[in-house]
Chains A and B, each alone.
Chain A
Amino acid sequence: MKPKIRVEGVYKIFGEDPKGALDALKSGKSKIEIFEETGQTVGVQDVSFEVGEGEIFVVMGLSGSGKSTLVRTFNGLIPPTSGKILIDDDDVASCSAERLRKIRREKITMVFQHFALFPHKTVAENVAYGLKIKGEGAASRRKKALAALEQVGLAAYADSLPGELSGGMQQRVGLARGLATDPQVLLMDEPFGALDPLIRREMQDELLHLQKILKKTIIFITHDLNEALLLGDKIAIMKDGRFVQVGTAQEIVDNPADDYVAAFVADIDRGRVFEASHVVADPVTVEQHEKGAAEKALQLMEEHNRNALYVVDDQKVAGLVTYQELAVAAREEGRTDLAEVMVTDVPVVDQDTPLNELYGAASAGHPIAVTDKRGRLTGVIEVEAVFSQLSGDASEDEYEDEDEATEDGSTPPAEEKATDTAQGGTPR
Chain B
Amino acid sequence: MISPADFVQIPLDDWVNSFVRDFLVPNFRPAFRAMQVPITEVLARIDSFFHWLPMLVFTVGLTLIADRTAGRGVALFTLVALIFIDMIGLWAETMTTLSMILTSVFFCAVIGIPLGIWSARSDRVLLVVRPILDIMQTIPSFVYLVPIVMLFGVGMVPGIIATIIFALPPIIRLTNLGIRNVRADLIEAAEAFGSTRWQMLWEVQLPLALRTIMAGLNQTLMLALSMVVIAALIGAGGLGLTVYTGLGRLNVGAATTGGIGIVLLAIILDRITQSLGEKKGVQTPSLWQSLRSLFSAGKADAGAQSGKPA
Q: Which residues of A contact B (CB under 8 A)?
A: 72, 75, 77, 101-106, 109-110, 112-114, 116-120, 129-130, 132-134, 161, 177, 181, 187
Contacts and interface: CB of A to CB of B under 8 A. Distances in A.
A218 B306 CA distance: 43
Nearest to B192: A110
B208 A104 contact: no
Given A119-B284, A120-B207, A129-B203, A104 B194 contact: yes
B208 A101 contact: no
Contacts of B190: 118, 129
B204 A109 contact: no
Interface stretch (B5-13, B181-189, B217-225): B181-189
B203 A104 contact: no
Contacts of B193: 104-105, 109-110, 129-130, 133, 177, 181
A119 B203 contact: no
B3 interface: no
B138 interface: no
A335 B186 CA distance: 77
Contacts of A130: 193-194
Given A116-B189, A132-B203, 8 more contacts: A104-B192, A113-B185, A119-B208, A120-B207, A120-B208, A129-B193, A133-B194, A161-B284
Q: How large is the interface on B (under 10, 10 to 19, 20 to 34, 35 or more residues)?
A: 10 to 19
B191 interface: yes
Nearest to B187: A116
Nearest to A134: B194
A116 B286 CA distance: 19
Contact of B204 (A104, A118, A187): A118
Given A119-B208, A129-B203, A133-B199, A114 B194 contact: no
Interface of B: 183, 185-186, 188-196, 199, 203-204, 207-208, 284, 286
A95 B175 CA distance: 33
What are the 7 closest A-B residue pairs judged by CB atoms, nearest first? Answer: A105-B194, A104-B194, A116-B189, A116-B185, A110-B192, A130-B193, A120-B284
A112 B194 contact: no
A74 to B, nearest CB: 10
B208 A112 contact: no
Contacts of A114: 185
Contacts of A118: 186, 189-190, 203-204, 208
Nearest to B206: A120
Given A118-B204, A120-B208, A112 B196 contact: no
A268 B241 CA distance: 82
B149 to A, nearest CB: 46
Contacts of A161: 284
Nearest to A181: B193
A110 B189 contact: yes
B194 A102 contact: yes
A75 B193 CA distance: 9
B194 A77 contact: no
Contacts of A187: 192
B192 to A, nearest CB: 4
Nearest to A129: B193
Contact of A112 (B188, B203, B207): B188
Nearest to B280: A120
Contacts of B189: 110, 112, 116-118
Given A129-B203, A132-B203, A116 B195 contact: no
Nearest to B211: A120
B247 to A, nearest CB: 48
Contacts of B183: 116
26 contacts: A72-B188, A77-B188, A77-B191, A77-B192, A101-B196, A102-B194, A104-B191, A104-B193, A105-B193, A109-B193, A110-B192, A110-B193, A112-B188, A112-B189, A118-B186, A118-B203, A118-B204, A120-B284, A130-B194, A132-B203, A133-B194, A133-B195, A133-B199, A133-B203, A177-B193, A187-B192
Contacts of B203: 118, 129, 132-133
Contacts of B194: 101-106, 130, 133-134
A99 to B, nearest CB: 11
Contact of A116 (B188, B196, B199, B208): B188
A103 B191 CA distance: 12
Contacts of A117: 189
A104 B199 CA distance: 14
A167 B138 CA distance: 47
Nearest to A106: B194
Nearest to B195: A133
Contacts of B186: 116, 118
Contacts of B195: 133
Nearest to A105: B194
Contacts of A77: 188, 191-192
A129 B189 CA distance: 10
A129 B202 CA distance: 12
A77 B193 CA distance: 10
Contact of B192 (A102, A109, A119, A134): A109
Nearest to A183: B193
B182 to A, nearest CB: 10
A75 B192 contact: yes
